[in-house]
Amino acid sequence: MRAADKKLLSRLLLVTCVLLMFVLPGVTLADETDGLEAVKKLCGMYIEGFCHPNTNLVYGQRLNGPKGIAVLESPDQIAKEQVDGKYMPYGYGSGIQDPGLLNGMFLFALCDAHEATGAPCFADLARRIFKGLKLVGTISPVPGFVPRGPHPDGKSYYRDSSLDQHSLFVCGLWRYYRSPIAEDDEKAFIRDALDKFAKRMEKNGWTLMVEDDSRVAHVGWCWLSMTPLNAETMLSMVGAVQDVTGDEHWKQEYERFSNEADAKRWTLLDQEDTRLPRYTLYSVQNDFRLITLARLERNPERRAIAQRGVQRRAQDMLTCNFFTHWRRLDWIGNRPEPVVDEFLKPLGLSVNSKATVFDLWDAFDPEWRSPKLSDGTRPWGHGMGLQIPMMAWQIALLSGDPELARQAHAQIPDVYRKIDFSRTHSGWTFNYAVVLGLLDLATDETDF
């Protein structure tokens, strides 16, 4: 079969897959008793609502609503490094600030689900998201830079990027490389892309800079200092690069970073986190990095350290008090405590309550919106009541611990029952639900 014919057939298969998976009006996931079919349908809804065909990327806002892609910041504003007319070089609130993170997690989970189930739809979707990440990795004229974007116009992006965009770009591509889905030319691209990423970071002393290297990125710093986060970042990133490239330099660097200061980075990874608060709405990125490290590491002792890190965090997230252990900024902003209590009161909660992610999930109604608070706002609260619980359950499924995975698996039917995905406009809520479902399919089969 000619290459052009193969590409046409692949596109036809993907279109057919999405059409078959798409949930028609009046059909809810609560009616679906087969877990595999439910996740297929959920993926179909995700692609239909949040993925743009010009970039093959999912975005942070629903794109098939009344406003279309106008829900995203305009290319004109992006070029000015603005959001809603205000200077925002890292694009917060633009809807295009997180493609590296959202699509990296999605690709990773698609590969896991495909290996566990063999479902062709997951392979087809993985190929599509890979194409999107390939665009992310090549749109900048600076080799190795992972921008925030691009916009569906295929060329507009923000030039102040972050750890999460770069690292989940790496993790997603690493996972695709190690799957049976990737073709030889795709693997060649991944080797080159990860090598360029590492060379740029090395050139800058492992400090994440904005695109033109004129300043440190907003969510950037030097990864060389000895902290648990930096240890996880350095080992997983250099580990992934040396694993796919096979380059002797990166192999030596990985061992050097592993053994430096009497293997202090591995010691840091094995320590319990006692900070308060210690979790954010985006903490799952840490565990995708750690599980990448666990899967690529060939030394059994090191592998066990990385695995324990995910298990320890999952156990803590499922049992800790949300109001002391999670950063308040992510779910209610910088509102003063009395206003936060106004928001929580209808849920039977306060900032002094003791509640786990399970309690939050049970208390929260996705259709509920706060009455107007004394500060004049009406927050939705989806970050607290939906996204954070689903994120904690993702980590439980990644942990490889059967009991933690069982607790997460038990919540899946309620996720499908509780959330009306046809009315969900948040790309984060949808992404966390999709990734949760995919990881759930993979739990019994994925070899940790």
pLDDT tens column, 284-304: 999 999 999 999 999 999 999
Residue 11 binned pLDDT confidence (cut-offs 50, 70, 90): low
195 falls in which pLDDT band (50, 70, 90)? very high
Q: Can you give the pLDDT at residue 31?
A: 77
41-63 average pLDDT score: 98
Higher pLDDT, 213 or 13: 213
**Mean pLDDT within 16-41:** 66
Q: Is the pLDDT of residue 181 over 70?
A: yes
82's CB contacts (< 8 A; 6+ apart) are: 73, 88
pLDDT tens per residue across span 314-348? 999 999 999 999 999 999 999 999 999 999 999 99
Residues 6+ apart with CB under 8 A from 98: 60, 148, 164, 165, 427
Query: Between 367 and 17, where is the model more confident?
Result: 367
Q: What is the band of 25 on the pLDDT scale with cuts at 50, 70, 90?
A: very low
Q: Are 157 and 100 in contact (CB under 8 A)?
A: no
236's CB contacts (< 8 A; 6+ apart) are 167, 170, 171, 289, 290, 292, 293
| pLDDT mean over 7-32 | 51
d(CA 45, CA 49): 6
Q: Band of the pLDDT at 17, cuts 50, 70, 90?
A: very low
Identify the pLDDT of residue 291: 99
Contacts of 126 (CB under 8 A, 6+ apart): 107, 110, 111, 114, 176, 179, 181
Q: Please tell me the predicted confidence (pLDDT) of residue 2.
A: 53
Q: Residue written as tokens 């992404």?
A: 431
**The tokens 């999460």 sit on which residue?**
164
Please state, as a whole number, how many other Cβ atoms lie within 10 Å of the Cβ of residue 277: 15
pLDDT at 28: 56
As a whole number, mean pLDDT of residues 403-412 equals: 97
CATH for the 3-318+393-442 domain, from 1.10.10, 1.50.10, 1.25.40, 1.10.760:
1.50.10
User: Is pLDDT above 80 for 426?
Assistant: yes
What does the alpha-carbon distance between residue 210 and residue 42 come to, in Å, rounded to a whole number? 35
Does pTM top 0.85 for this prediction? yes
Q: Mark residue 400 as left, alpha or beta (left: phi above 0; alpha: psi -120 to 50; beta: remaining).
A: left
Phi, psi torsion values for 222, nearest 5 degrees: -80, 125
Q: What's the whole-number mean pLDDT along residues 107-115?
A: 99
How confident is the model over 163-191, as a mean pLDDT? Answer: 99
Provide the residue ranges of all domains of the chain, joining segments of one domain with +. Answer: 3-318+393-442
**The predicted structure's pLDDT at residue 446:** 38
pLDDT of residue 445: 40
pLDDT in tens, 257-267: 999 999 999 99
